[in-house]
Amino acid sequence: MTIIINDAEGINGMRAVGRLTGQLLDYLTPFVKPGVTTNELDRLAEQYTTQVLHATSAPLDYQPAGYVPYPKSICTSINHQVCHGIPNDKPLKKGDIVNIDVTLIKDGWHGDSSRMFVVGEASIAARRLCALTYESLWHGIMQVRPGAYLGDIGHAIQKFAEGHGLSVVREFCGHGIGRKFHDEPQVLHYGKPGTLDKLEAGMIFTIEPMLNAGRRDIKELGDGWTIVTKDHSLSAQWEHTILVTPEGYEVLTLSEGGPPLPAFVKA
């Protein structure tokens, strides 16, 4: 149970892959339109990753213990799909909300980020869920500084989410990341302040809350990957890769094309 403290070389490697990860999401953004299939987004992502970014897609053939190998380069989770949706030939339609989750490997380092996209115009409820989940991620990020606890992050997210009538998925969490895709610690999106591991400068992990409009319960589909809400309510997720700095935090997967930071995040 040890959390890696990255040295300057690791931090530079993670900054570089984090930048590329944000760049890939920016590249995909204009293609997320009614009529595009998630297989087409997957193909565009794989091509841009290898040919432009000179990087590798970590999800392709990824096989944690107990899983079948993941068959695609990105995850695309639509509407009531919570996470790990597998791209297919079904076109996106107006009103869908879709999470695109990308993980790149560059020089052995991993960068992991996901965003929500609204296809055409979505309902007010769908847009509200996406916006509040984004804000919940940033409430978690703002807890990050040396001496804070992992439980502070989870608590901030849970309090904000439940305060707005949304539920927090428990079965999946953020994770340490670096030379490994999924490393210690687990970064829960619920919890109590002052509990779990104490943060130190040089730690790098993701925060990636999944919030449901309905109940928190989930189930896995027969493909061995796709997670959906049990009650079929809408679900949203946003993810960034975060470095603990001596002053607080650095978001490694920021990019020009992402959404503006929430107003409550001070520069």
Residues lying near Co ion in the complex (CB under 5 A) are found at 101, 112, 206, 239
Residue closer to ligand MF3 (CB basis): 152 or 239: 239
- Paired with 244 in beta bridges are 249
Residues of the shown chain interacting with ligand MF3 in the complex, contacts defined by CB under 6 A: 59, 62, 70, 75, 84, 101, 103, 112, 206, 208, 225, 239
Q: Which does 190 bind (CB under 5 to 8 A by kind): ligand MF3, Co ion, none?
A: none
User: CB of 217: closest distance to ligand MF3 in angstroms?
Assistant: 20
- Contact (Cβ atoms closer than 8 angstroms) between residue 119 and residue 76: no
Residue closer to ligand MF3 (CB basis): 76 or 229: 76
* Lookup: tokens for 69: 């190998």
User: CB of 177: closest distance to Co ion in angstroms?
Assistant: 7
> Starting from the edge strand earliest in sequence, which strands make up the sheet with 167-168, in order?
167-168, 210-212, 235-237
Q: How many CB atoms neighbour CB 89 within 10 A?
A: 8
Q: Which does 70 bind (CB under 5 to 8 A by kind): ligand MF3, Co ion, none?
A: ligand MF3
Query: Which residue type occupies 116?
Result: M
Q: How far apart are CA 143 and CA 159, in angstroms?
A: 13
User: CB of 32: closest distance to Co ion in angstroms?
Assistant: 17
Give one word for 188, left, alpha or beta, with left for phi > 0 and alpha for psi -120 to 50.
Answer: beta
Q: How far apart are CA 218 and CA 241, in angstroms?
A: 24
Give one word for 111, left, alpha or beta, with left for phi > 0 and alpha for psi -120 to 50.
Answer: beta
Residue closer to ligand MF3 (CB basis): 125 or 221: 221
Residue closer to ligand MF3 (CB basis): 69 or 257: 69
Residue closer to Co ion (CB basis): 49 or 206: 206
User: CB of 75: closest distance to ligand MF3 in angstroms?
Assistant: 5
User: CB of 266: closest distance to Co ion in angstroms?
Assistant: 26
